[in-house]
Chain A
Amino acid sequence: MMRSLLVRGMLVGLAAAALALVVAWIYGEPQVGHAIAFEEAHAAHEGHEPEVVSRTVQKTAGLITAMAVYGVALGGLFSIAFAFAHGRLGRLGARATAALVALAGFVAIELVPFLKYPATPPAVGDPETIGSRTALYFGMVALGVLATTAAVIVCRRLVPRLGAWNAVIASTAGFAVVIGLVYRLTPKPNAIPEHFPATVLWDFRIASLGVQLVLWATIGLLFGYLTERALAHHPARTAVPAGT
């Protein structure tokens, strides 16, 4: 059971990465190009560093590899989260559970870090602070995962007392307060160079958000569809009575 869920998650992650790649090429790459042109125009006097990997390879093989590996990793982690959630969120079926887990994953891993430490195009960000920015970013991912998991657990406990609707509202509000407090208390290392075009920054960030949105939506919907279909074909072999 778990083996097939994990394999399915990784393959679905790969398919989702392929769709996200299309978004990255259409909406993201032009902005990366603009940012690199800006970077080169403003660093021209410092002399040209030798290229380790050409732009063409970065845009094609490099981006494809990065997206594929990221998609497989996310898909695998998603399938584990799905296994924990399925049968434990009321009476939701496989499709609804997968969609909810994908929504929670998007909020935890993408939205929570993004709102505080949004994606930055080349030329934005001080190389001197890469260490602290990396730590803050992954710390925010960890916080997103912990806070979302906590909200789901609290919500499940509140359902018998408040009913499903109010329990979701209460736990979401608690989640928002915690995240809002952490946002207020964490530092923000801003290093946007002077005269960097605001439209490029905005378009790049929206493209980055779009890539992640397509990735998560595809994982959630495709995984749910495939799992629902697999369970319908083999209900007796895979079902374990509730109460465990």
Chain B
Amino acid sequence: MAQSAVPPAGTSPQARPAPAPLRVPIREILPWAVFAVVLGAVLIYFVGAEQGATSLFGGTWVHEFTHDGRHLLGFPCH
């Protein structure tokens, strides 16, 4: 699970249970953060904005299909 975590010198998480709540090192979070932000931005863009102010695909199908969700989730729809 924590195979990519680099414990600070002189400590071993396996040998000595941490007294404080777990703290995931920043450098372990960062690649996952980039992945989640990119994925989240793409997903939220298609639910909230595609074929509204900007269009990657022609037509209005995405806009009309997500219409109710767009309104109820608070995105400007049309």
Contacts and interface: CB of A to CB of B under 8 A. Distances in A.
A107 B70 CA distance: 19
B28 A87 contact: no
Nearest to A132: B53
A63 B33 contact: no
Interface in A93-148: 93-94, 97, 110, 113-114, 117-122, 125, 127, 130-131, 133-135, 137-138
A167 B52 CA distance: 42
Counting chain A residues whose Cβ lies within 8 A of the other chain, the interface size class is 35 or more
A234 B14 CA distance: 11
B40 A76 contact: yes
B74 A240 contact: no
Interface string A36-68: 000000000000000111000111011101110
Most chain A CB neighbours (cut-off 10 Å) among B20, B36, B37: B36
Contacts of B75: 119, 134, 137
Nearest to A24: B72
Contact of B77 (A6, A84, A125): A125
A131 B49 CA distance: 10
B32 interface: yes
Given A57-B65, A121-B71, A122-B77, A244 B46 contact: no
B29 to A, nearest CB: 5
A244 B68 contact: no
B76 A240 contact: no
A65 B47 CA distance: 9
Interface of A: 1-6, 24, 28-29, 32, 51-53, 57-59, 61-63, 65-67, 69-70, 72-74, 76-77, 79-80, 83-84, 86-88, 91-94, 97, 110, 113-114, 117-122, 125, 127, 130-131, 133-135, 137-138, 204, 207-208, 211-212, 231, 234-244
A87 B21 contact: yes
B76 A133 contact: yes
Contact of A240 (B5, B49, B64): B5
Contact of A53 (B8, B20, B49, B61): B61
A80 B76 contact: no
Contacts of B48: 70
Contacts of A2: 24, 28-29, 32
A135 B64 contact: no
Given A32-B68, A57-B65, A240-B7, 15 more contacts: A1-B1, A1-B24, A63-B68, A65-B69, A73-B44, A76-B39, A80-B33, A86-B23, A87-B21, A91-B21, A208-B73, A241-B23, A242-B21, A243-B8, A244-B25
